[in-house]
Structure 1
Amino acid sequence: MTPIAAGLTGIACLFVLLILRTPVAFAMLIVGFCGYWGLEGLKGAGGVLLTESYSAVSNYNLIVVPMFVLLGNISSAAGFSRGLYDAAFAWVGRFRGGLASASVLGCAVFAAVSGSSVATAVTLGKVALPEMKRLGYAPSLSTGSIAAGGTLGFLIPPSTGFVLYAILTEESIGRLFMAGILPGLLLTLLFMAAIWIIALRNPEAGPRGEAVSLSDRFRILGQAAPLLMVIFLSIGGIYAGIFTPVEASGIGAALVLLLALIQRRLSFADFKKAVLGTLSTSAMLYAIVIGANVLNPFFAVTHIPETLGQELGSLGLGAYGTLFVIILAYILLGMFMDGLSMLVITIPIVFPVVTGLGFDPVWFGVVAVIVIEMGMITPPVGLNVFVVRGVASDVPLTTIFRGVTPFLLAMIAGLLLIIAIPDIALLLPNTMFGK
């Protein structure tokens, strides 16, 4: 069997294993090890398994994941997410669709401590959905705003997507974190614009909330200020060059834990649950990184990335035409695969093609993460939709999918803007680190 044929067979086997619900980490590990064994022998495959597994778990930069996950879990357990939502509602709740806009703002801010799309959607969904139901919001708007807002957890730093992308491509985590800030804010504003348009067309879908006096707005904002300060110190410290992303993750986790203990908002049982949740999530991500590190050498010896680049180049589509084909493939895959699986499987294949076309690797990381975000709310998989369905069990899935449609259009608009104006993603990293 030729290397190309072996590579295509390996990709087919990988998808079969995923269809059979094999955990993505083990699916990649099995295909990578067996494929390398078939091409380079058992001794070579054993060497790859040993060295790549050790290299993956000993990667210093991976410490970012458990620290930021712990930060998010403690924030959720201590109820800080409620304070973020209340502060957002105090400022924008009086407008039409205000609760939905507050939910999106809350998701954006909570994303800065969680790094997880699912965690963001679940946490804010539990707080915001009952309130929107009480005020008579249309189920499609309330659930759609939470499902879409939750995707910001995959883009706004600290993002597990950016950490994995950085490890797979050997790019700077700090640059990627900075690159996600302005696109994250852009999507937040576009989501709020979509809510405003929906409420303008159908005022009953998003009625106004109660007006809050200016003094009360500042008082409620002050209650959320400690957590906002942790976020500012963590992300601002990275931008200012005071500490690295790894150091920022440890400082952020320590500060939010100290904050929760001082305010007596964290019981031992809640702390234990947060730690166990962090261990579970971190173990999953470490396993995925190990699987990806074993799969990548197999793809390398099959020459799949080079062949793909040559085939795409032969189509004569040009750089942006080829990029469009890659994005379209991501959108189609996103209908059937979860975001992390798609990221770790596809990046080793498409990354050499994209960089060969002259695109900035950090900029493409932002583009890839946004497209993967879109997959989180598109049928039939739409992980965030199912997560929100678990919180709002009385809302049909079809209603939630219908509700996320305006937000998908907003994401497409944001993606086109970032493609047309790369500096939206590159301004902050280039300012901080230089080009």
Structure 2
Amino acid sequence: MQAERAANLLANLAGILLLGLALAFTVDVLLRWTISAPILGLYEVAELSFAVVMALALVWTNMRQSHVSMGILGQITGEAAPRLVAAALGLGVSCLFVWFLARYAGAKAGNGETSLVLGLPKGPFWSAAAVAMALATLAQLAVFLSELTSYLQRPAHRLRDLAPPGLMVVAALALLLVTAQYAPVLGAGPKILASFVILYLLALAHVPIGMALAIAGLGAVFLQMGMRPALLVGTNNLVGSLASVDLAAVPLFLIMGNLAVAAGFADDIFTAAASVFGRVRGGHALATVIGCAGFGAISGSSVATTATLGGVAFREMEARGYAPGFSTGSIAAGGTLGALIPPSVILIIYCVIAEVSIAKSFMAAIVPGVLALVLYIISILIQVRLRPELAPAPDGTESFAPIRALRIAWRPLVLFLVVLGGLYGGVFTVQEAAAVGAGLSFVAWLVSGRASVAGLFVALRDAAGTSAGLYILIVGANIFGSHLNFAGMAQALAAVINPETMPVWAVLTLLAVMYLVLGSIFDSVAAVVITVPFVLPIILSMELDPIWWGIVTLTIVEIGMITPPIGMNVFVMKVVVGNRVSLYTIFRGVMPFLAADLVRMVLLIAFPAISLWLGGVLG
């Protein structure tokens, strides 16, 4: 299909531009620390270029419909009807974004605004971003027409399938209108509650969560406050996210992870861990959780870690006679470890939304990440001690070979040392750390013997497209957060949760339960971006540390990734193993790890020093 080929070409271009920016930052760091001659104006060029690149990458994201969304309704009614409704609303949001960028570009060009260092006119960059967003809108239009054609070709039960998502969208829009009509007499609480109901109705209708957030937020601002405030909210949040220097670390770290995978780092980490623990009963399960921790830190994605290491680790444990539930449970649970261990993409997103230091948050995450790994190791050792049938006894063929492990895993170890050592050693910023990591991964891929042009484009395209989807999610969350502020979220929270009358432990318990439920239903990034804008003021009102709360939030959300009845990582593991292991068996296998996670959650909440101690010492 020509539209798909065009989308692939544009995504390839976006990926090449991202890699070029990463290599430029790497060279800048080298020049700055060797001959004190950094590249003049690189940051302002990168800031403007990222807006264009992310809008360009959105073409591929829209064409593949790889936005973060809830697929529950599609499992009930079939995928065709929810996809059609989602594509139609996504087309409307894309058109709005083109309008916002075109107006903004026109204003920059009209004012003759230029960058500070190089004096570059900003208008052409934002015009290019608007054109790229228009191309993304055309891709969304192609998807809508394709879904409409596919839907019309299935006459059986057509109206019945369309009714559930259609009614949900109609109910959401009706509630939006009713809330706007009675907004002057409604208090903050009812307006905010209605906004969340609207959001969840749209999300259940399969509308991508970022776009559902934008619709709920912009619709409320427009109907309750008028066109001009809606334009300002939409434009400022869209432009601010696309050109965010802090968010720029996300696509760069994703490129680092994708190229590291292509270079074989996943196999290296697992094989090295197996060389150390293989001769212990349950040693390959230990190697799995250690490998997941290392690879998860590189890839920044729980789902990607489970999917990538799942096939390798399950094959090894199945061949050695491990119990299916024990092996799949250790993989699904181990996949959650990468959310905390730096560099963590989801932690970067939390820091951007909460406006806290990324470097300090990375530092705060190290000890909790190690604690999570230690508790999983203890869980495995207890399980094989109490139930020896879960794992075979060592047969003597495996040897304890730490030197061999170092020789195997030296590439990922060097990557970690350079990225984190340079970051905490003051050599470069978080964004530069991501760029240098991407540059090192690119070099490792080049000399790995696995290099190919097709493989490079796959890695870059996937990183760019995934980043664009995350950007839209963050844009929507910021728009929705602006609406909540206008609606009086602070006053509504004060009326429900008053730190002066409600004990801190009770507030934290309620929030923990909420995140466990959300984490089991939503993607972890979606759960964070939806809730942080209204949960963080509660934390600050109780004079608690926002960095500590970020670590706790990520911990609880990732626990939700293996919590029944949904647990996304469990379903990913099910896809990896197919019919060889039942879903019930996998859920049963994660239960001991879930118990370890609950212990960790209690420890982190009860003793904030676990998170804040290292930062205080090094600071």
TM-score category of the 2 structures, normalised to the smaller one:
over 0.9
* 1:99-248 pair list within 5 angstroms: 99-209=284-394, 210-214=396-400, 216-248=401-433
Contact 1:338 1:375 in 2 (8 A): no
The secondary structure found in structure 2 opposite 1:378 is coil
- 1:379-390 equivalence runs, <5 A: 379-390=564-575
Matched residue SS, 1:60: coil
**Which secondary structure does the structure 2 equivalent of 1:61 belong to?**
coil
For residues 87-136 of structure 1, the C-alpha deviation after alignment (integer angstroms, 9 at most, x for no partner) is: 00110111111111100000111122111111111111121110000111
Question: In the alignment, residue 116 of structure 1 is paired with which amino acid?
Answer: S
SS in structure 1 at match of 2:544: coil
In 2, the alpha carbon distance for the partners of 1:3 and 1:31 equals: 18
In the TM superposition, residue 12 of structure 1 has moved relative to its aligned partner by 0.3
Equivalences for 1:277-316 in 2 at 5 Å? 277-313=462-498, 316=501
What are the superposed Cα offsets for residues 9-46 of structure 1, whole Å, 9 maximum, x if unpaired? 11100011111111111000100100111221121111
Task: Tell me how far apart the structure 2 counterparts of residues 317 and 211 of structure 1 sit (CA, whole Å).
Answer: 59
User: How much identity, in percent, do the aligned residues show?
Assistant: 38
Q: Which amino acid aligns with 2:378?
A: A
Cα distance change of structure 1 residues 315 and 379 upon mapping to structure 2, 3 Å threshold: farther
Identify which range, 89-98 or 417-426, moves more after superposition. 417-426
What is the aligned counterpart of 1:338 among 504, 518, 523?
523
In structure 2, the residue matched to 1:414 is 600
Structure 1 counterpart SS, 2:433: helix
Amino acid across the alignment from 2:223? G
Question: CA shift at 1:315, angstroms?
Answer: 8.8
- Structure 2 SS opposite 1:313: coil
| Alpha-carbon shift at residue 162 of structure 1 (Å) | 0.9
Cα deviation for residue 334 of structure 1 reads: 2.4
CA contact (8 A) 1:111 1:157 kept: no
Alpha carbons 1:305, 1:350 under 8 Å: kept: no
- Relative contact order, CA 8 A, sep 6+: which one is greater? 1
Q: 1:307 & 1:158 partners in 2: Cα distance?
A: 35
1:423 aligned onto 2:601:
no
| Equivalent-residue separation in structure 1 for 2:543 and 2:416 (angstroms) | 34
Aligned equivalent of 1:397: 583
Q: Check 1:31–1:224 CA distance in 2 against 1; reply closer, same or farther (3 A cut).
A: same
Whole-Å separation in 2 of the counterparts to 1:318 and 1:199: 40
Supply the AA of the counterpart residue of 1:153: G
Shift, 1:62, TM fit: 0.9
Greater shift, 173-182 or 303-312, is seen at 303-312
Q: Which residue of 1 aligns with 2:277?
A: 92
Q: CA deviation at 1:3?
A: 5.2
8 A Cα contact 1:56 1:290, kept in partner: yes
**Alignment-derived partner of residue 274 in structure 1:** 459
Structure 1 window deviating more from structure 2 (69-78 vs 345-354): it is 69-78
Write the distance in 1 (CA, Å) between the matches of 2:275 and 2:382.
Answer: 21
1:361-414 CA deviation, whole Å, 9 max, x = no partner? 000000000000011111222111111111111211111111111111101111
Conserved in 2, the CA contact under 8 Å of 1:33 and 1:49? Answer: yes
Task: List per-residue Cα deviations over 1:297-322 (Å, max 9, x = no partner).
Answer: 10001112432233122793311221
Aligned to 2:446: 261
Letter in 1 for 2:558: E
Q: Please give the secondary structure, in 2, of the residue aligned with 1:404.
A: helix
Alignment equivalent of 1:78, drawn from 246, 256, 263: 263
Alpha-carbon distance in structure 1 between the residues aligned to 2:290 and 2:299: 14
C-alpha separation in 2, matches of 1:70 and 1:92: 30
Contact 1:138–1:204 under 8 Å retained in 2: yes
- Which residue identity does 1:202 align to in structure 2? R
What SS does structure 2 have at the residue aligned with 1:388?
Answer: helix
| CA drift at 1:264 | 2.1
My pick for the range that moved more, 295-304 or 219-228, is 219-228
Cα distance in 2, alignment partners of residues 95 and 309 from structure 1: 54
8 Å contact kept, 1:117–1:153: yes
Higher-Rg structure is: 2
Is 2:221–2:483's contact at 8 Å kept on the other side of the alignment? yes
* 2:317 match: secondary structure: helix
Provide the C-alpha distance between the structure 2 equivalents of 1:266 and 1:378, rounded to a whole number of angstroms: 38
Change (3 A) 1:314 1:364: closer
CA contact (8 A) 2:275 2:404 kept: no
Q: Sort the Cα spacing of 1:362 and 1:134 in 2 relative to 1 into closer, same or farther, 3 A.
A: same
Give the conservation status (yes or no) of the 8 Å contact 1:179–1:363.
yes
Q: Identify which range, 307-316 or 347-356, moves more after superposition.
A: 307-316
Gaps of 5+ in 2: 1-182
After TM superposition, where is structure 1 displaced by more than 6 Å over at least 4 residues in a row?
none
Quick one: distance in 1 between partners of 2:265 and 2:499? 54
**Distance across 2 between alignment mates of 1:335 and 1:367:** 16
Tell me the TM-score normalised to structure 1 length. 0.96
Whole-Å separation in 2 of the counterparts to 1:228 and 1:34: 49
User: 3-state DSSP class of the match of 1:83?
Assistant: helix
Q: 1:314 to 1:113 in 2, by over 3 A?
A: closer
Offset at residue 338 of structure 1 (A): 2.1
Alignment of 1:347-386 (within 5 A): 347-386=532-571
| Contact 1:3/1:301 (8 A) holds in 2 | no
Deviation at 1:262, TM superposition (A): 1.9
For 1:192 and 1:286, the matched residues in 2 are separated by 35
- Measure, in 2, the Cα distance between the counterparts of 1:269 and 1:158: 27
* SS of structure 2 residue aligned to 1:307: helix
- 1:94 counterpart SS class: coil
User: 1:141-193 CA deviation, whole Å, 9 max, x = no partner?
Assistant: 11111111100121111212211111111111111111111111100010111
The AA in structure 2 aligned to 1:404 is V
Helix, strand or coil at the partner of 1:15: helix
Q: What is the DSSP-based 3-state SS (H/G/I as helix, E as strand, rest coil) of the residue aligned with 2:246?
A: helix
